[in-house]
A and B are shown apart, each in its own frame.
Chain A
Amino acid sequence: MSAARPRGRPASTWKGIAVALAVAAGTMAVSGCGASQYQRVACDSTSPQAIFVLEAQAVPSATLIPCAEPLPRGWSVAGFEVRSGLAQFWLDSDQAGARAAEVMLTQTCDVAGATQLPTTTESGAIVQPYEVATARQPHTTVRYYLFTGGCVTYRLSFTRLTEPVLAGQAGQFLGFNPRWIYVNAIRRDQGLTLCGAYAPPCPG
């Protein structure tokens, strides 16, 4: 009679395989399932991981929420930061480098010394743009977009003089969505109030 021999892999091997699988699954879950940075800030994004509701909470008075229109080749959304009072995202350019364009939403901006540009309308809201004179910022372009309850600062790491093509592209991809879209969506989908502009007053 032959002695019974243990069959299969030893327990430690299975443990190792289980740990490896868990790590792989965790890594995939964390890195693979997330939306791309562009999807988080794209004006037409339907991703549940978009940052617009959070932006609306960061600056509740803002009636417009900045977003990114489709990007030309060579541009990519590199990151974002949202905290109470401020929401911003930034873009890298393969020509102008990292953080070549920054979009920042705050409640107000200091436009003293900036040149007022012609008024525009974005999603039905009136927007008053300003641009800081090149003489004051020779290597960067800074524009302000003032609207009811908020202001977007748009900062480029180049000027029309140094990078005319990039400056033309950069003029295309800053977009705005009206805040009421998100207020209505939260009310419709969850029966809750996204406190701030276009919403009824919240308690507290």
Chain B
Amino acid sequence: MATDGAGASHGQSVTPQQGPGGGGRRRRPSGEPPPLPRQVGVSGRVLITLVVLAIGISALNLAVRRGGFLFDRWNAAMIRGIVPVRTGWLTALTSGINTVLSSRWTTGVLRLGTLVALAGLLRWRHLLTFLGSVVVVELAGYQLSLLIASPRPFGVQIIGPWEGFSEPSRPMAAVAVTLVGMVYALLPAGRPRSWGKWAACVAFLLLGLARVYLAVDAPTGVLFGVTLGVTVPVIGFRFFTPDEVFPVTYRRGKAAHLDVGGRRGQAIRTAVQEQLGLTVLDVKPVGLAGSAGSTPLRLRVAAAGGEPERDVFAKLYAQSHVRADRSYKLGRTILYGALEDEAPFQSVRRFVEYEDYTLLRLTHVGIPVPAPFGIVEITPEREYLIVMEFFTGAQEIGAAPVDDQVIDGGLLLIRRLWDAGLAHRDIKPANLMVRDGNVLLVDAFFVQVRPSPWRQAVDLANMMLCLAVRTDARRVYRHALGYFTEDEIAEAFAATRGVASPTQLRGVLKHDGRDLVTEFRALAPVRRPVAIQRWSIRRITLSLLVLALAVAATIVILRYWTVVA
């Protein structure tokens, strides 16, 4: 079959390629659980218990304080049971533990150290989540203590220092939020984080026992404080920095995506078999370093239906990716306005449906992209897999030889996108593959139908830059004139600067050293730069809202500085 430089076949109607095989497909009957049923899991159960505990203790405290003072009597009885074991050395030991662990200096140093470390590691999202958790816990602890207004334990001598009302125990909450925040912000998921959690538990236990022994806190106050101090950061980190999207890692790249071993790995095998008829032999994460929007996988599938054993490519999407996409788009809208002004996706299902559609659309107009084999449901509304062709034997354009055929292929690809009224919006070396001299395009997730002319122009400029990095500007420009007018090329480079190019392409250009953008501008007719910053009502509203939130948060923090600090 003849193909042009852009890898598309000539003279055929393009239909989506079907997956190999077809046997083994099975419709899931009504009532049968999905491949990976939604399970709360151990951490989920712990979290739910914590939330129920926090709400329950708050409600009981409020109700009981106006009623029978049940808590006070129970606490007094518990502490009276501890008093007989008070001895000199034990009192000295517990006082020491209380002084060291609940000191504002200790928590202050730990918090400051964590913030400095996170800033140094450029983990701004984790930093904000840590800071937010601390502020929320301190303020909630303070306000709840005023609301509940529970005195210190009755009936025994209090032999340690204390401050304010006792429920929830604010020192316990402060230590809990600090240690749990550190565990989630600094320790990678898995064994290190598990050890960190156990270490934090030991600290809570020691401090809690010490404070009850000294009778400065009641057992319910300790429990309430720990519950508050653990629940807020756990929810915060799970929601704002899910490991699948924002992993804590000290290796290069983003190593921790959705775990594809264990139950999920088995569910992927079963689901792909039943829904696409492909027998999966092996599941391997690939290209994680360049992907934060999904978990990319290479599936080894068994020979079937005349096809040999081979690899297929798959992207696993989960709800955390939807949340990340939402905040990413909000940030881009505020920073760049109309540059990225678009509505976020509302569900994982929409994610995969959209990518499947863009792949089919691109294939339909002759753009060489991986043929989509289908969407696989792992957990309804929560996890989906989109399976597509794996470009076996293809090389990334940054590593492949770039000759005239490749240059023409790349430029033709953009021409076809323009003619079809599409924009890829993520033209960069990592998304351009070369096989047998043909340029292939991957990652259609950002494709936009009927984009702005500016967006299309940027695609052209980015493609020319990708090609020129491996050759030179004059040669690429000469080839480009075969597909675009001088004015169109001038428009492309008038529209492209800074953030208009993907981060990876900007990095490659920087590493190359040549000022290719300027060289292209010198070759093309003079044209005034196209403004990148676009203002819209939506951008102004969102910016004002975020600004108002930031100001409100700052006012609250300053007003309660003595509480927070």
Contact = CB atoms under 8 A, between A and B. Distances in A.
A82 B159 CA distance: 16
Contact of B151 (A10, A33, A57, A81): A57
B163 A83 contact: yes
Contacts of B84: 203
Given A202-B157, A204-B83, A204-B86, A30 B152 contact: no
Interface stretch (A141-149, A159-167, A192-200): A192-200
Contact of A30 (B80, B143, B158, B162): B143
A51 B158 CA distance: 18
B157 A195 contact: yes
Interface string A115-158: 00000000000000000000000000000000000000000000
A12 B147 contact: no
B215 interface: yes
A194 B83 contact: no
A57 B152 contact: yes
A24 interface: no
B156 A203 contact: yes
A103 B155 CA distance: 28
Nearest to A203: B83
A54 B86 CA distance: 24
A191 interface: yes
B144 interface: yes
Given A33-B147, A54-B165, A192 B76 contact: yes
Interface in B127-167: 140, 143-144, 146-147, 149, 151-152, 154-165
A49 B156 contact: no
Given A83-B162, A83-B164, A203-B83, A195 B146 contact: no
A36 B149 CA distance: 13
A191 B151 CA distance: 15
Listed residue (A53, A54, A57, A204) with the most chain B CB atoms within 10 angstroms of its CB: A204
Given A192-B72, A192-B76, A84 B83 contact: no
A34 interface: yes
B72 A190 contact: yes
B147 A29 contact: yes
A29 B62 CA distance: 10
A202 B215 CA distance: 12
Interface in A26-48: 29-31, 33-35, 48
A181 interface: no
B252 interface: no
Given A31-B143, A48-B149, A49-B146, A195 B154 contact: yes
A10 B86 contact: no
Contacts of A194: 154
4 shortest A-B CB distances, which residue pairs?
A204-B157, A83-B163, A49-B149, A192-B154
Given A48-B149, A83-B161, A204-B157, 9 more contacts: A31-B143, A84-B160, A84-B163, A186-B154, A190-B154, A193-B154, A195-B155, A195-B157, A204-B159
